[in-house]
């Protein structure tokens, strides 16, 4: 797993969600695709998806339950999970999470 993205564009304006529990910055790649690079502080939140997402966890730890599932699964640095489009997931962040969100 790489620790950085090279040769990208990054938007100066951040994205702030849930009163700052989640802060991200948008990265645009040479092929026009976008990803967001963010931090989620310890909290229990529900995120809704538009496009399908892959959440790559690069630091911290969290428990996640996808919409329609009964089980919570734990994700830490070096793991990732997929979220369908037009869906949602609950996340309990137990240790501040660094993530990259891949869309589509």
Residues that bind a copy of itself (CB under 8 A): 2-14, 16, 19-21, 23, 25, 27-28, 37-39, 41, 58-59, 96, 98, 100
Tell the smallest beta-carbon distance from residue 74 to a copy of itself (Å). Answer: 20
- In the complex with a copy of itself, the residue whose CB is nearer, 87 or 96, is 96
The span from the CA of 61 to the CA of 57, in Å, is 8
- In the complex with a copy of itself, the residue whose CB is nearer, 64 or 100, is 100
Tell the smallest beta-carbon distance from residue 61 to a copy of itself (Å). Answer: 15
The span from the CA of 62 to the CA of 46, in Å, is 13
Tell the smallest beta-carbon distance from residue 24 to a copy of itself (Å). Answer: 9
Cα angle 99, 100, 101; round to 5: 115
Burial environment of residue 31 by CB neighbours within 10 A (0 to 12, 13 to 18, 19 or more): exposed
Tell the smallest beta-carbon distance from residue 46 to a copy of itself (Å). Answer: 19
Determine how many CB atoms are found less than 10 A away from the CB of residue 87: 15
- In the complex with a copy of itself, the residue whose CB is nearer, 66 or 100, is 100
Is the distance from CB of 17 to CB of 41 less than 8 angstroms? Answer: no
């Amino acid at each position: 797993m790489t620790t950085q993205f090279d040769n990208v564009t990054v938007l100066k304006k951040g994205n702030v969600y849930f009163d700052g529990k989640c802060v991200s910055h948008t990265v645009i790649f040479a092929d026009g695709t976008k990803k967001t690079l963010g931090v989620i502080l310890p909290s229990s939140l529900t995120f809704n998806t538009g496009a399908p997402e892959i959440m790559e966890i690069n630091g911290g730890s969290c428990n996640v339950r996808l919409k329609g599932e009964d089980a919570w699964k734990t994700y830490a640095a070096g793991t990732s999970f997929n979220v369908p489009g037009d869906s949602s997931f609950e996340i309990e962040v137990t240790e501040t999470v660094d993530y990259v969100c891949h869309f589509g």
